[in-house]
Amino acid sequence: MKSFCRGFLVLAFVALIIQRKTLAFQHVVGGTQGWDESTDFNSWSSAQTFRVGDQLVFKYTTGLHSVVELPSETAYKNCDLGSAVNSMNDGSDVVKLNKVGTRYFGCGTLGHCDQGMKLKITTVAADAPPSTTGSSSFSSSYPSLSSSSPASTSLQSTSSFTSSAAILALAVVVSILNILCYSI
């Protein structure tokens, strides 16, 4: 019985580690305001930690805005939309952050990028420590349900809360099994 318990504990610990490493967040660009001219994207992005595996979600009114991914900082600074490497216009566009590095986005609607509707983000490794920018390093990586900043959105908070709850529940089960197995 003890060998069965030990084997089960090993499997539970492996599941706990895998669950923690596969956590990814959906960052709704602009928070509750979304992809809109009135949003301060520099402030919003500085309060976030973007990790490999996360996703950006651009939410906007179709026909009023669009999203173009720009190839370089120069294209970003100059709002050179003609050099776009990708263009999206669905109103709820998802961009997967699949590698470390800096990416640049702008609104494809004439004049919007020049008016500041653009975004520069830097993606770090999935296991990188939390950022020290923003109001707190914890809230920038793991948004809380009580945060009042636009960095926290209900979609993001709910997904991180659910994932955190799953990890906590698994950790409790592993702890209980550990106590039961070693008391046999």
Is the whole-model pTM more than 0.75?
no
Instruction: Please say whether the beta carbons of 22 and 167 come within 8 A.
Output: no
Per domain, the residue ranges of the chain are: 26-152
End-to-end CA distance of the chain, in Å?
8
Alpha-carbon span 29 to 57, nearest angstrom:
6
Alpha-carbon span 106 to 120, nearest angstrom:
9
State the amino acid at position 80 in one-letter form: D
Using one digit for the tens of pLDDT, what is the confidence trace for 146-184?
A: 333 333 343 443 344 445 566 666 677 777 766 777 776
Alpha-carbon span 66 to 72, nearest angstrom:
19
* Band of residue 18 on the pLDDT scale cut at 50, 70, 90: low
Alpha-carbon span 41 to 47, nearest angstrom:
10
Using one digit for the tens of pLDDT, what is the confidence trace for 106-136?
A: 999 999 999 999 999 999 998 877 655 443 3
Among 16-25, 47-56, 143-152, where is mean pLDDT lowest? 143-152
In this prediction, residues 52-71 reach a mean pLDDT of 97
Q: Which fold has domain 26-152?
A: Immunoglobulin-like (2.60.40)
